Amino acid sequence: GSCVCSLFRLAMVAMALRLISLALAFAFLGAAADECVAPDCVQEPQPCAAVQVSTCTVWPHYCSKIKHGLEVYCTDDHVCACKEGFCANSQGVCVEQPKVNCTKKVSTCHTWPHHCSTTMHGDSVSCSPDRDCVCGEGTCKEADSGMCSEIEKFTDLAGVQKQNESPLAEAPIPLSAFFALATVAAISVGAAAMAMTLRRSTIGEAPPLLG
């Protein structure tokens, strides 16, 4: 009887370990599903609402890098502006231009005359060589429709630098990963408990201390 019980407990532990493996695989798949994958989705720079941080009309036409960041320069018009790829934040500092996940595909255009409706999808839509109706440069598919709309300008990038300093805080954990981690935790506790029970039954009760 004890041998059968031991075998049963071993089978339960093996099943628990297998469930843990499946839960981890589910977590990785869920995280991959949330990623932006080309060509349907691409990362596009978010347009700057402003690039000017100050002026440099007075000689020696200098823009303070201490005040405005290393990417500032004095233009020919004597304006302190951020270099390409950088935007001005509300504090007058040049920060890296953020990128947004942009869904491009809104429909298909396989059938002749390979036309994409501008009425349904907006003026920027066109038929790609792969016969997909895709949004043009600077526009993305709206989340709740098939319309291509312009990427909203980033008006205040004050918090972007702080986020860039901590990349882990930038990417939210997918909901599927939360469920998978919770499942792993529950199964791990159960497996540990079964392993302890199996160990006790295999070793047997400790002999009483002699008094």
Element (H, E) at 93: none
Nearby residues of 6 by Cβ (< 8 Å), 6 or more positions away: 198, 201, 202
Residue with tokens 């201490």: 66
Considering Cα of 32, then 35, then 38, then 40, what sign does the dihedral take?
A: positive
- Please list the pLDDT of the chain residue by residue as tens digits (211 residues): 555 555 666 666 666 666 665 555 554 444 444 577 777 788 888 899 899 999 999 998 899 999 999 999 999 999 999 999 999 998 999 999 888 889 999 899 998 888 999 998 988 999 999 899 999 888 999 988 889 999 888 776 444 444 444 333 333 444 444 455 555 555 555 555 565 655 555 555 545 555 4
Distance (Å, whole) CA 122 – CA 108 = 14
pTM: predicted TM-score of the whole model, two decimal places: 0.48
